[in-house]
Amino acid sequence: MKKLPQNLSPKHFEWGCATSSFQIEGGNFEGGRVASIWDDFCAQPGRIKDASDGTVACDHFHRYADDVKLIADLGFKHYRFSIAWARVVNADNSVNMAGIDFYSRLLDELEKHRITPNATLFHWDLPSHLEDGWLNRDTAYRFADYAALIAEHLGDRLPRVATLNEPWCSAFLGYDLGVFAPGHTNRTSSLSAAHHLMLAHGLGIQAWRSRLSKTSLGIVLNPELCDPLTSQPEDVQAAKMAEYERNDSFLNPLFAREWPSVLLDQMGSRLSDRQAGDLEITAQPLDFIGLNYYTRSIAKAPSSPEDAKRGYTFVPPDAADATDTTKQLTDIGWEIYPEGLKRVVNNLTQNWPLPPIWITENGAADNTPVVNGSCDDDLRCAYIEQHLNKMSALIAEGTDIRGYYVWSLLDNFEWAHGYSQRFGIVHVDFETQVRIQKKSASMIKALLISRL
Ligand code: FCB
C-alpha cells in the first residue's frame, strides 16, 4: 500500500499499535508483582507449546523508554497497552506503589513523545491469589476495587480506558476448552466465568465513573463470524450456536439487559450465579467499543459428546473446503479473510446499538526470519493492507469507526503458542532483545509520516 485511503488519514483517524502486559513486560518477579494465573499456567508442563513463559518476554519492564521511542519513530500517535493487575495490587488488596510507578513512568515517556495512551485494565493476567478466579463472584468486586485504584492513581492521565480484553477468551478458552489459564474444562463453569467477567466490567465502569466522569470508557470484544461448513440445517444451526456463545454472551448483557437465552439451558447448576439486578450493572452506557478481528471460523454439527454440550464443532480452515487452493492461512493457521471484517462489523451494527467503534487489534502471525538485517514480512504487509481497505470501505458506507490499532508493536509471548508465533511489526530476538523494524513497520511508517 503506497497511500492511505483519505478516510484513514491520521489527521482525523486514530492510528496506533497494541500490546498487552503479560505478553511483553517480563519483570514478573520484580517490583512486588504478585503471581498471575498465566505465571502458574506456564509452570504446568505441556501447557505452552515451546515450554516458555512470560518471565522475561520482551523485557519491556526495563526497556519501556526505548520501546516508546520506537513507537514514536514509527509515526504512531496512539498506543494501546494493558495494566497488569498483579503488578499494582498486593495480595491484601492494598496498592503496590512500585507497580503504579512503573505505569506512571511509561505514561511520562508517552507524554514526552506526544503519544496518547489507550489502556486496558484486564488482558487476562488475573492475580493468582483471587480464589477460584472468575468462578468466584467476589472477583468481580475485586476488579471494581482495582479499577477504582487505577482511576485514583493514574486516571487523570488516561483519556481512554477499556475494562476487559476479549472476555470470551478468558471465559471459554480458560474454563471450557482449557487451552488458556487457568486451564479448566467445564462447560458450565465457562458460562459462569463469562457472567462474572461481565459483572466485573459493569462494576468497574461504575467505580471509575463515580471518580472520573470525563474518561472515555468501553470494553474490547472479539466478535465471531462463524460460517457453516455446508448449507445443511444442522451445520447452519451449529454456526449460529458458536456465534451465540461468542457474541451474545457478551453483547446481550451489555446492550440488551438479557441473559443469552439459547445458552441458559447449558448453565446447569451455575445458573444461580446470575442474580437479580446484575443486568442493570452489566448494561452501563459505553463511550466506545473495541473490536479485535483476525479471522472467521467454520462450524459443523457437533461431532463428539463434548461438542454436543456446546452445540458445534469447529473445522480447521485447512480442512474446511480443502479444495479451495486460493485459501491463504497465516503462520498460526488462521484463514486470511478480510471480507470477514466487513461482515462481522455489519452484523453487529445491524443488531446492536453500538457506540463508536475502534478496531483495537488486527494483525497476522508471519514468522518470516531476519535475513541480513531485514525482515520482509510480505504476508503481514498484504494482510494489513487488505484489512485497511475493508475498514475504509466500512467507513465510506457510514460505519462509525474511529481508530485502528495494529497487533502488535513487538513479537511477543503468544499465550499457549509461547514465542513460536510472531505477530510484531518489529522483530524481537528473544536472546539479545534486539528489535528490528520489519517491512510492515516501514510500510506503516511511510503511510503515517506522509500524512502528518
Ligand atoms: C488476541 C489477543 C492478543 C493476541 C492476539 C494474537 O486474541 O487479544 O493478546 O494474542 O490475539
Asked whether 120 lines ligand 1 (CB < 6 A), one says no
CA–CA distance, 65 with 105 (Å, rounded to integer): 8
pLDDT of residue 115: 98
Rounded average pLDDT over 349-370: 98
Rounded average pLDDT over 413-442: 98
pLDDT tier at 387, thresholds 50, 70, 90: very high
pLDDT of residue 267: 86
Among residues 109, 166, 245, 414, which one is catalytic? 166
Asked whether 224 lines ligand 1 (CB < 6 A), one says no
318 within domain boundaries: no
Q: Evaluate if residue 452 carries a pLDDT over 60.
A: no
Asked whether 407 lines ligand 1 (CB < 6 A), one says yes
CA–CA distance, 5 with 15 (Å, rounded to integer): 13
Rounded average pLDDT over 395-417: 98
pLDDT tier at 320, thresholds 50, 70, 90: confident
Nearest protein CA to atom 4 of ligand 1, as residue: 414
113 within domain boundaries: yes
pLDDT tier at 98, thresholds 50, 70, 90: very high
| Residue 109 annotated to the active site | no
Q: Evaluate if residue 251 carries a pLDDT over 70.
A: yes
Q: Which of 8, 49, 60, 18 is nearest to 425 (CA)?
A: 18
pLDDT of residue 325: 66
Cis peptide upstream of residue 356 (ω within 30 degrees of 0): no
Q: Evaluate if residue 318 carries a pLDDT over 90.
A: no
Tell which wins on pLDDT, 413 or 327: 413
Contact assessment for residue 63 and residue 101, using Cβ atoms and an 8 Å cutoff? no
240 within domain boundaries: no
242 within domain boundaries: no
Q: What's the CA-to-centroid distance between 181 and ligand 1, angstroms?
A: 14
Contact assessment for residue 91 and residue 50, using Cβ atoms and an 8 Å cutoff? no
65 within domain boundaries: yes
395 within domain boundaries: yes
279 within domain boundaries: no
Asked whether 170 lines ligand 1 (CB < 6 A), one says no
CA–CA distance, 190 with 169 (Å, rounded to integer): 10
Render pLDDT for 163-221 as a digit per residue (tens, 0 to 9): 999 999 999 999 999 999 999 999 999 999 999 999 999 999 999 999 999 999 999 99
Minimum-distance ligand 1 atom for the alpha carbon of 423: 6
Q: Which amino acid is at 106?
A: L
Q: Evaluate if residue 434 carries a pLDDT over 80.
A: yes
Mean pLDDT, all residues of the chain: 96
CA–CA distance, 10 with 271 (Å, rounded to integer): 47
pLDDT of residue 259: 85
Render pLDDT for 128-160 as a digit per residue (tens, 0 to 9): 999 999 999 999 999 999 999 999 999 999 999
Share of residues in the chain with pLDDT > 90 (%): 92
The residue length of the chain stands at 452
CA–CA distance, 88 with 54 (Å, rounded to integer): 17
pLDDT of residue 428: 99
Render pLDDT for 295-317 as a digit per residue (tens, 0 to 9): 999 999 999 999 999 999 999 99
Asked whether 414 lines ligand 1 (CB < 6 A), one says yes
What 3 state SS string does 251-271 have? HHHHHHCCCCHHHHHHCHHHH
Contact assessment for residue 235 and residue 302, using Cβ atoms and an 8 Å cutoff? no
Q: Evaluate if residue 11 carries a pLDDT over 60.
A: yes
142 within domain boundaries: yes
Rounded average pLDDT over 96-117: 98
| Residue 30 annotated to the active site | no
Render pLDDT for 228-249 as a digit per residue (tens, 0 to 9): 999 999 999 999 999 999 999 9
Rounded average pLDDT over 393-406: 98
Q: Which amino acid is at 370?
A: V
pLDDT tier at 270, thresholds 50, 70, 90: confident
The alpha-carbon radius of gyration of the chain (Å, integer) is: 21
Contact assessment for residue 333 and residue 367, using Cβ atoms and an 8 Å cutoff? no
Would the pTM count as exceeding 0.85?
yes
Nearest protein CA to atom 9 of ligand 1, as residue: 20
Q: How many structural domains comprise the chain?
A: 1
Q: What's the CA-to-centroid distance between 120 and ligand 1, angstroms?
A: 13
What are the φ/ψ torsions at residue 216 (nearest 5 degrees)? -80, 120
Render pLDDT for 323-336 as a digit per residue (tens, 0 to 9): 676 779 999 999 99
Asked whether 297 lines ligand 1 (CB < 6 A), one says no
Structural domain boundaries enclosing 140: 6-226+289-295+331-450
Assign residue 446 the CATH number of its domain. Answer: 3.20.20.80
Rounded average pLDDT over 35-42: 98
Contact assessment for residue 57 and residue 412, using Cβ atoms and an 8 Å cutoff? yes
Give the bridge partners for 404, in sequence order.
15, 359
